[in-house]
Amino acid sequence: MEAFEGHETFFVTYDSTRTRRLERKYLLRNIGTNPLVMAQAFLSTLRILLREKPKLIVSTGSEIAIPAFYLAKLLRIKTIFIESWTRVDRPTATGKLVYPVSDVFLVQWERLLSKYGKKAKYEGAIL
Amino acid sequence: MIFVTVGMHTKGFDRLLKKMDEIAAASGEEVVMQIGHTSFRPQSAKWFDFTTDAGIKEWCKKVRVVVTQPAMSILDAQEQGTPVIVVPRLKQYDEVIDDHQLDFARELEKEGKVIAVYDVEKLEEALKKVDLRLPELARDRKLVNALKKYIAQFERK
């Protein structure tokens, strides 16, 4: 969160014991591979983005980033995707899906760069 | 005391929890587990399914070692300065969709950031040796600074 100091922020994340404690948040149902829940997530995310009108969306996934990043493209909101630290060699399905619509696309292992296009960058990892 | 945490993952991690429950019974050391979506119910260890962020941090602080999957829970332990043993979830046991945790554990082990155990039969031995202090882990400033740089760029446009 330190990277966002001085900026107004809100969260869109999955509902869980941990996330319920966040301050400014929208909690969605875990999407997984369920297409129906994904469709619901598109509608909820659209409502949230129209209400909050963020200038930037930053996400580390997972599936919850898919509706947000595609809708952001339509609404001209900038996006930064950070591939999971746990991914050394294998891209995530979400990463591959949001790669084309991301303004900035970061990976946390240099080796993973070869699995993505030119836009992908390595700028260090969380630890 | 040992804290075992398997996070928010939608699949269970029976293999790890069963072994840790056996270790709790055999060693008499107190073991506390956050079991998430695992169906197995520990007999000798204390357990709960989920807790808050503060709850996880508190357990990580109280114990001599945290046993977890190689994922974001490593950061919770690291923040409290507690050594971490990681056991990767494996595809062959339907614990995860692919073997990315195995790759990740190998890399972290190479960098000396965690102790990695790939076969749960070797957990007991690894737990005995954890007293060796792991190197102090520091958050990488580079990524935070890169994010600040991008945010500043977008603001100017």
B151 and A CB contact within 8 Å:
yes
Instruction: List, in order, residues 6 or more apart from A121 with CB less than 8 Å away.
Output: A104, A105, A106, A107, A113
Q: Judging by DSSP bridges, how do beta strands B65-68 and B2-5 pair with one another? A: parallel
Query: Average pLDDT in the B14-33 region?
Result: 97
Query: Average pLDDT in the B9-37 region?
Result: 96
**Band of pLDDT at residue B131, cut at 50, 70 and 90:** low
Which candidate in A18, A22, A114 is best for mutational testing of the B interface (most B CBs within 10 A)? A18
ipTM over 0.85: yes
- Output the pLDDT for position B79: 87
- Look over chain B and give the mean of its residue pLDDT values, rounded to a whole number: 92
- Residues forming beta bridges with residue B116, ordered by sequence position: B86
**Residue-wise pLDDT tens digits, B54-103:** 999 999 999 999 999 999 999 999 889 899 999 999 999 999 999 999 99
Lowest mean pLDDT among B26-35, B71-80, B100-109, B131-140: B131-140
- Structural domains in chain A, CATH included, are 2-122 (3.40.50.2000)
pLDDT tens sequence for chain A (127 residues): 889 999 999 999 999 988 998 999 999 999 989 999 999 999 999 999 999 999 999 999 999 999 999 999 999 999 999 999 999 999 999 999 999 999 999 999 999 999 999 999 999 998 8
- Structural domains in chain B, CATH included, are 2-156 (3.40.50.2000)
User: What are the chain A neighbours of B137 within 8 Å (beta carbons)?
Assistant: 127
pTM: 0.88
Q: Do B143 and A16 touch (CB under 8 A)?
A: no
Query: Average pLDDT in the B99-126 region?
Result: 95
For B52, the closest of A21, A30, A55 (CB atoms) is A21
Angle (CA) B88-A32-A81 rounded to 5° is: 80
Do residues B116 and B106 make contact, with C-beta atoms less than 8 angstroms apart? yes
Q: Do A18 and B8 touch (CB under 8 A)?
A: yes
Alpha helices in B4-156, H assignment, sequence order: 14-27, 53-62, 73-79, 100-110, 123-129, 141-156
- Output the pLDDT for position B137: 66
